[in-house]
Amino acid sequence: MKRQQKQQLVDDLKKKMVFITGPRQVGKTWLAKEIARLYPKSVYLNYDSTGDRRIIKDEAWLEDTTLLVLDELHKMKGWKNYLKGVYDTKPEGMMILVTGSARLEAFRQQGDSLAGRFFRHRLLPFSPAEAAHVNEQVDPKFFLSRGGFPEPFLAKSNTDADRWRMQYVDGLIRTDIFDFERIHDFKAIQLILDLLRTRTGSQVSYQSISEDVGVSPNTVKKYIQVLESLFIIFKVTPYSRNIARSVLKTPKIYFYDTGMVKGDEGAIFENLVALCLLKHVCAQVDLEGKRAGLHYIRTKDGAEVDFCLVQDNIPELMIEAKRSESRPTRALLNFTKRYDIPATQLVLHLKRERMDSGIRICQGMKYLESLLL
């Protein structure tokens, strides 16, 4: 399948360095090589390759190189200063594309001397919107069973997709985890992951999970942060006008791979909606420079709305995800009346779209296809 972000990446390369971040095996290397094919004098170098590593350290590419692609560069000691030097002294016509996953994204969040020298693009799994935008004929409901990672999505059978998923997660936990810190209790982190798979979309209780697994709540929190850094899970925090308070409050957990969710069709659909909204927000931030965010809304008395899209920390749209219930939820009705925020209820199985008490009742997959990315 084509990737929708390709042209934007090509355009941005003419202006600054470009960083492609995202989960392992989401297609970053494939996309980088696709872009490299557009330039006759491009060079692709992977730091995992012994031969390429020597070329990288010696900066031994030709002076007339038009595009330099550096893959897995974050594994090189002092890579940030190295890259700053390469960029600041490069020939005028040379473009630089850098790809990486967890460590590269973690660096970006910290801020560094590379600030102002690059554009960041987050490459996430295929989505109904991306398939629609690149004119790929895909049954949107296929995303519920296979997820959007290229290999399981394109696998010939569900069995092959499941085999990939098992090896993928096990490999991440046993190898990439060492990019962050020494964690030897693989059994505990695997148990935590298995528990999260059954609690998708629920508020995370570190205390409850710690009692189930037999480790401290702080250890649970630490391991969940590691799973997030590895792009296995992502958090959706409750909306608060005070941004700091929003981050501290209890998050809900979702998976980048909807195939990881252990639950009924409704739970899987909610996870898909969360992922598609996250991808939409990332596109607003990375491609349009907007201060967009994804949250959920919950009051002290327990009333909750699944998702809330915000701009500049101001709510723009509330969204509820349902398998087949087309009547607006009580929480959605109350919040709409109280705060005058537009609201939409996405229904997976819906015969006819309509307005109900000022709330849009939409066919879920059709709405997801209309998002930015």
Same domain membership, residue 141 and residue 113: no
Measure the CA–CA gap between 78 and 62, rounded to whole angstroms. Answer: 23
Q: Backbone phi, then psi, for 318, in 5-degree steps?
A: -100, 140
Query: CB-hemisphere CA count at 13 Å for 257?
Result: 29
Residues 67 and 149 in one domain: no
20-79 confidence digits (pLDDT tens): 999 999 999 999 999 999 999 999 999 999 999 999 999 999 999 999 999 999 889 999
Domain span at residue 195 reads 128-369
**Cα torsion angle, 229, 11, 153, 273, sign:** positive
Residue 337: φ, ψ to 5°: -70, -40
Specify whether 283 is located in the same domain as 193. yes
Return the pLDDT at 115: 85
In a domain, 229, yes or no: yes
The mean predicted confidence, pLDDT, of the chain is: 93
- Euclidean distance between CA atoms 246 and 251, whole angstroms: 9
Same domain, 113 and 166: no
Pair 232, 292 in one domain: yes
- Alpha-carbon span 97 to 37, nearest angstrom: 13
Which residues, including other chains, have CB under 8 Å from residue 307's CB and lie 6 or more apart? 236, 273, 274, 277, 294, 295, 296, 318, 319, 320, 321
Domain boundary among 72, 91, 122: 122
Give me the number of domains the chain comprises. Answer: 2
Q: What is the pLDDT of residue 137?
A: 82
Is residue 343 assigned to a domain? yes
- Tokens for 285, please give them: 């931030």
Distance CA 199, CA 233 (A): 12
- Cα–Cα distance for residue pair 332/311, rounded to 1 Å: 19
Which amino acid, residue 356? D
Same domain, 39 and 10: yes
User: Is residue 165 a contact partner of residue 257, using CB atoms and an 8 Å limit?
Assistant: yes
Last residue of a domain, one of 77, 98, 122: 122
Residues 287 and 182 in one domain: yes
Are residues 168 and 248 part of one domain?
Answer: yes
Tokens of 72: 């897995």
Q: Kindly state whether residues 203 and 173 are assigned to the same domain.
A: yes
Residues of the chain with pLDDT under 50: none
pLDDT of residue 91: 95
Question: Hey, how many other C-beta atoms are within 10 angstroms of the C-beta on 321?
Answer: 24
- Whole-number Å distance between alpha carbons of 161 and 142: 12
Calpha distance 189→192 (Å, rounded): 5
pLDDT at 171: 86
Q: Is residue 113 one of the residues assigned to a domain? A: yes
Q: Does 65 fall in a domain? A: yes
Contact call for residues 41 and 62 (beta carbons, < 8 A): yes
Classify residue 338: in a domain, yes or no.
yes
Among 237, 271, 269, 278, CA closest to 254: 271
Compute the distance between CA of residue 115 and CA of residue 217 in angstroms, rounded to an integer.
35
Best CA proximity match to 344, nearest among 334, 352, 356? 356
Which residue among 122, 139, 155 closes a domain? 122
Q: Are residues 136 and 93 in the same domain?
A: no
What pLDDT score does 247 carry? Answer: 65
How confident is the model over 206-238, as pLDDT tens digits? 999 999 999 999 999 999 999 998 899 999 999
Shared domain check, 312 and 226: yes
* Assigned domain for 1 exists: no
313/335 Cα distance (integer angstroms): 17
Q: Taking the model in full, what pTM does it have?
A: 0.95
Looking at residue 293, the DSSP 8-state letter turns out to be E
Beta bridge partners of 297: 305
Tell me the CATH number at 88: 3.40.50.300
Question: Is 104 found in the same domain as 35?
Answer: yes
